[in-house]
Amino acid sequence: MDFMTMMALEEHGPDTYVGIGPEYPWGGLYGGQIVAQGLRAAGLTVEPRYRVHSLHAYFIRLGDATEPIRFEVDRLRNGRSFATRRVVARQSVGAILNLAASFQVDEEAPDAQTARLRDDIVRYDTVANDTWSPVFDRRVDRKHDLTGVSAGWFRMEEDLGDDSILNACAVAYIADDLPTEAVIAQHPERPATYEEESWPFWSASLDHVIWFHRPMRADRWHAYDFTCHGLMSSRGLAIGYVFTEAGDHAATVAQEVLLRHRK
């Protein structure tokens, strides 16, 4: 299933949309897909002049690929410069995702950047594609000696055009991929290889936060650079930056990952 098919949500009553997703190699649904669809549902209820600037999502239950997903949107606020939405994704088991998204009309204001693209991230044209999904190209920089770090280059396979919310949905889809690797790379019992079959852990994404700083095209190469900022109570916090090839800081991502030893 391609990304545009996932984003083609069907309207089922006022501010209610239904979507589907494929089954992934590990079974169930991919969290990034549900977040992307939830953001898409929220975006369908705002005027085109708004651009998403942040989302905060909680994963509640594992999704089922054999069932459709119902996205219920609550219009919390429509302001002159900001709009706020809440989205609950449901299946027969109950709620599987709770998402809040905020949108803003672009304003003329000073633009300053302090985050920097690291020079030591291997370029995408020197690394083989190791993607697990037909939706995006994935070129991950494997540095086994870097504790708590996971970085790589990603781009969507489909042409997404200039729709800012659709491109933000694509970033939400991609950005759920690397945080777990950064958290595992911080663990004192981390494996010598990144191959998932060798991991002595069971993991799950707990929440997903993204701030969108500058317009971007997710179908062009971007560097995703994640660092684990700590482990506590079986949870690891990964924070990442998304950069364009030119080094523009396009987005910031934060995610907590649940990491437990396999039984």
- Residue 125 CA to residue 117 CA, distance in Å, equals 17
- List pLDDT tens digits, range 21-60: 988 877 789 999 999 999 999 999 999 999 999 999 999 9
Residues 49-103 pLDDT 10s: 999 999 999 999 989 999 999 999 999 999 999 999 999 999 999 999 999 999 9
Q: What is the pLDDT of residue 196?
A: 57
Tell me if domain 1-106 and domain 121-263 are identical in fold.
Answer: yes
For residue 198, pLDDT over 90 is answered with: no
CB of 82 closer than 8 Å to CB of 104: yes
Q: pLDDT tens, 127-179?
A: 999 999 999 999 997 765 568 899 999 999 999 999 999 999 999 999 999 99
Single out the residue of 95, 87, 88, 91 nearest to residue 52, CA to CA: 87
The pLDDT assigned to 143 comes to: 67
Considering the domain 121-263, what is its CATH architecture?
A: Roll (3.10)
pLDDT at 194: 58
Q: Where are the domains of the chain?
A: 1-106, 121-263
| Per-residue confidence (pLDDT) for residue 144, from 0 to 100 | 56
User: Residue with structure tokens 């504790």?
Assistant: 147
Which pLDDT score, from 0 to 100, does residue 35 have? Answer: 98
pTM: 0.94
Confidence of residue 197 (pLDDT cuts 50, 70, 90): low
Domain 1-106 sits in CATH 3.10.129.10: yes
Task: Dump pLDDT digits (tens) for 106-119.
Answer: 999 999 999 999 99
